[in-house]
Every structure is written in C-alpha cells, then in structure tokens.
Structure 1
Amino acid sequence: MQVVNWLPRTELPFAAPSRPELLDMPEPEVELAIAPAPQAEAPVQPAARPVERPKVEVPRPTAVVARAAVKPVEDAEEAPVAAKPAPVPPPRFALQLLRAGRCLLLVELPTGESFQSRDPAYLLLKDMLRAAGLPDAPQIIGEPVRWPLLVRGTMDQGPEAARDFVQGFLSVRMEEAPCACLWLIGLPAVRFAGEADAEAFNSELQIEGLGLAWAIPGLELLMEEPRRKAAVWQAMRRLMARWKESNE
C-alpha cells in the first residue's frame, strides 16, 4: 500500500517503544513565488525576405541579331560630325571701266567713288595714257562695278560669283567695240578679271574670252611707292606696239 510510516493511535500491548523522531510531524514547506529578474527586450529583427532565386536568361538568337544590327547605328551616332567650313565673306571692291583709243581700262577706284577731274589718282592715269601714246581724256563707260551687289539676300556673292560677274560685264563691253589690249589696274581688277594675283603685276595675261590683258599695280599703290613706276614703264614699252598698230 506504499505506507512509509505507521503510528498507532493507542499504545499497543507488548509493542516496542516508539522512536521520538517519528512522532515529530514536519511542517509543510511553503513555496515562495520569486519573480524573475527583468530581462532586456531583445531587438526586433526585421523579417527576413525570402531569398529570390536568380533568374537565368537564356540568350536568344533574335536578341543577338538585333543587338548586332543596332551597334553600327550607335557607332554612327557617336562618330564626330565634320564641322562645316565657314562661309567666305564676299569681296569688296569698286571698278570703273574706261576707253582710251582701242584700249579698255578696268581701274580700281581708290576711294570707291567715281573719278573727279582733280583727283590725284585720275591725274596719274592721264599721265600714263600720254606716255602710252593714247588719248589722255578716257571715256567713262557706264557706272562703276561695285561688289557685293546686294547688302542683304541669299544670292551667292563670293569670289567666284564676283569673277563671273566681272568677266561677263567685260565680255559684253568688248562685243560693242574691238579692244587691242585690256588694262587691269589694281589688284581687284587683276584678281576678278584676270584670275591672277599681285605676282602678275607688269606682265601679260591671256584670258579666255577676253583676249590679251596687262596687269598693272593700283594707282594708289603707285603713288605710295613711286619706285614701282619704273617697272610699269618697262612693261609699257614692250606692249606699246600692240595698240599703236591698231591705231594706224
């Protein structure tokens, strides 16, 4: 019956005396509720995101072909664009056409205005005509040729257009009367009628459609540098026979 200790209520006859320690009833144990020590709150960990599985892209032939086709277009767009050349400003000059005997003179106007009877440049021109055996009162033909023609507008007025205009103007005038020799006096006349530069001064030029021409420094340049007159005189002596024969 699982009885550890048994004590009779009355003393039993002929029984062995009881042990005193067995008669002491132990006091029941009282359990004290001990509150647990406070613990620091653990930081709240964010919820871990589920690990995503990496996506494996399988290359497709169509994508490779499309990328290869786009590559040349991208290279073309990245290529530097060649800068356009700056437009050449139109030349500026004023030329007067005169006739002396059987010679035509295309003369640069130093001031841009028509000659006056007492202008130093015009007096020098008269001296040159007398030395050449030509009339020293040349006939003025038309208005001066001034370039550019228009102040505004989109018409081409560059050097090539100026050359075509001057040569066309001379061609028309030469058809009206024969010309033994064309004097081109001044750099603009030499450049846009004779298609030459300053190195051609005091030399003969054979111009297609215009015939023989003589390149001469400008009147203003001859007055500023008188030493040039000697070279002009020597060239004049070589060519003088051309217009003298025409006058006979």
Structure 2
Amino acid sequence: MQVVNWLPRTELPFAAPSRPELLEIPEPVVVAPVVPAVVAETPVAPVAKPVERVKIEVPRPSLASTRTGAKPVEEAEEAPVVVKAPIVPPPRFALQLLRAGRCLLLVELPTGEPFQTRDPAYLLLKDMLRAAGLPDSPQIVGEPVRWPLLVRGTMDQGPEAARDFVQGFLSVRMEETPCACLWLIGLPAVRFAGEADAEAFNRELQIEGLGPAWAVPGLELLMEEPQRKADVWQAMRRLMARWKESNE
C-alpha cells in the first residue's frame, strides 16, 4: 500500500501554507474509442470471355470408298481357344513273365526286383501252382518288364503306350510258345495286358490277340488280405479244366 498524501496533525513550524486544491481527487480521463473508417469496396465487373465458334468438321471421302467394287472389311473371327489335355505322369510297375506247364504267368513284382526262392510272395505263388495242378517251379521267360522305359526323353510313356508295349511283348512270347491260359497276377498286369481294372479280379477275360486270360489279385494283396484266397480258389476250380486238358 502506497502513501498518496501525508497530512500532519499539528502545524509544523516554518511549513508552507496548505493548499486545499491538492486534496481534491482528480476525475479519471475517459478516452473515446477510435472507430476505424469503413472503406467501401468497389465491385469488379467480370471479364467477359470471347465466344468461341463451333467448328464443324466435314467428313472427307476416303480413297477406299471412291474405288469401285470396294468390299467392307470383315471382322476377324476369334480364334478358338485350344484346351491342352493335362499331362498324365507315366505309370510305374515291374512285371515278370513265367511259364508253368502250358500256362504263362505275367506276375507283378512287389519289390520291383526278380523273385528270390525265399520271398514270401514267391512261396505263395508256388502254393497256387500246386493247387492248380501245375509245376511249382515256374521258368523265367525273358527279363522283367519295367515301366517307364526311359527316365528322360520325349517319347510317350503314358498308360496307352504302356498297354501297347505289354501286349506286344506278350504277343511275341505267345507266338514262340502257345499257352492254354494266361494268368494276369496283380493290378498292373490286369490293367496293361487285359485292359481291365480291379473289378475284374477272379474273372476270365478274352483279350484280342492274346486269347483267354485269368485276372488274379496281386501276391502282396493276397498276403495282406488272406480272405481273398477263397475267391481265388473258387475261380481256379472253374478254369482248371483249361490247362488240365492241355496237360493230358
């Protein structure tokens, strides 16, 4: 708090006479606000764009239309889309041709290698031959038929090529030594020699150019599913007369 005026209670000696106007409080000065003058904006007239003239193009006759006998251009027909057949991988199998009496046996090799005397599949085959009244020591005819023939190359090695090769191989062997019945043991033998599938097991087939054949399940399948042996035995009894008459 500041002291504005100081008045003594007693008169001081040698003091100047007091002036009452000093005790009056001056009125505050009110300053009038300054209002800025509003400047009126002069409207700007828009600039008119010049009107553009519309150009009319007159088509000119082409040289082709002025020529006599001109033919209209025909739209090219869309070329038909050629759908390529999916590439089928070549089948893989190994077959061995054997002879027992007057029967030829085209047998699927379960391991892909020739039979050994102690192989369970070969022992089962010997049992089947004894039950059929045939020699139980079959003779090997030629090398195993393995497919595909080539690992690389452009030669067709699809299912149809495999069928033609197997049937051609059998045809040559049967011309050398005829047989009374051809045993097709295993699905690859039935499929590529007899042109049939697994539904033909235990049935007799008539193959053009090869004669009668008997479709038999594979040796590996018979060992895995022994209940199939009963159907094989029943089918064998129906066909046994073919090779027994030949043996006699």
TM-score normalised to the size of structure 1? 0.74
Structure 2 match to 1:107: 107
Structure 1 match to 2:163: 163
Structure 2 match to 1:97: 97
Structure 1 residue 50: Cα displacement: 6.4
Q: Which runs of 5+ in 2 are unaligned?
A: 1-41
State the AA in 2 paired with 1:87: I
Structure 1 match to 2:183: 183
**Percent identical across equivalent pairs?**
78
Distance across 1 between alignment mates of 2:157 and 2:101 = 33
Structure 2 match to 1:18: none
The equivalences for 1:31-46 within 5 A come to: none
Which 4+ residue blocks in structure 1 deviate beyond 6 angstroms? 39-46
Structure 1 residue 241: Cα displacement: 1.0
Structure 1 residue 56: Cα displacement: 2.7
The equivalences for 1:120-199 within 5 A come to: 120-199=120-199
State the AA in 1 paired with 2:114: S
Deviates more, 1:118-127 or 1:51-60: 51-60
Distance across 2 between alignment mates of 1:202 and 1:59 = 84
| SS of match in other structure, 2:226 | coil
State the AA in 2 paired with 1:93: F
Structure 1 match to 2:58: 56
State the AA in 1 paired with 2:179: C
| SS of match in other structure, 1:105 | strand
State the AA in 2 paired with 1:53: K
Distance across 1 between alignment mates of 2:219 and 2:113 = 14
State the AA in 2 paired with 1:150: L
Residue 76 (1) aligns with residue 74 (2): no
Distance across 2 between alignment mates of 1:112 and 1:96 = 9
Distance across 2 between alignment mates of 1:200 and 1:137 = 27
Structure 2 match to 1:87: 87
Structure 2 match to 1:6: none
State the AA in 2 paired with 1:89: P
Q: What do residues 177-216 of structure 1 show as CA deviations (whole Å, max 9, x unaligned)?
A: 1201000000110011011111111011111111110000
| SS of match in other structure, 1:143 | coil
Q: What do residues 217-236 of structure 1 show as CA deviations (whole Å, max 9, x unaligned)?
A: 00011111111100000010
Q: What do residues 108-136 of structure 1 show as CA deviations (whole Å, max 9, x unaligned)?
A: 01111111111111110000000001111
State the AA in 1 paired with 2:168: G
Aligned length: 203
Distance across 2 between alignment mates of 1:56 and 1:109 = 86
State the AA in 2 paired with 1:76: E
Distance across 1 between alignment mates of 2:101 and 2:246 = 9
Distance across 1 between alignment mates of 2:156 and 2:82 = 23
Structure 2 match to 1:4: none
Distance across 2 between alignment mates of 1:51 and 1:83 = 57
Tell which structure's C-alpha radius of gyration is larger: 1
Which structure has the highest helix share of the two?
Answer: 1
TM-score normalised to the size of structure 2? 0.74
Distance across 1 between alignment mates of 2:151 and 2:47 = 84
Across the aligned residues of Structure 1 and Structure 2, the Cα RMSD in angstroms comes to 2.5
Structure 1 residue 51: Cα displacement: 3.5
Structure 2 match to 1:14: none
State the AA in 1 paired with 2:162: A
Q: Which runs of 5+ in 1 are unaligned?
A: 1-38
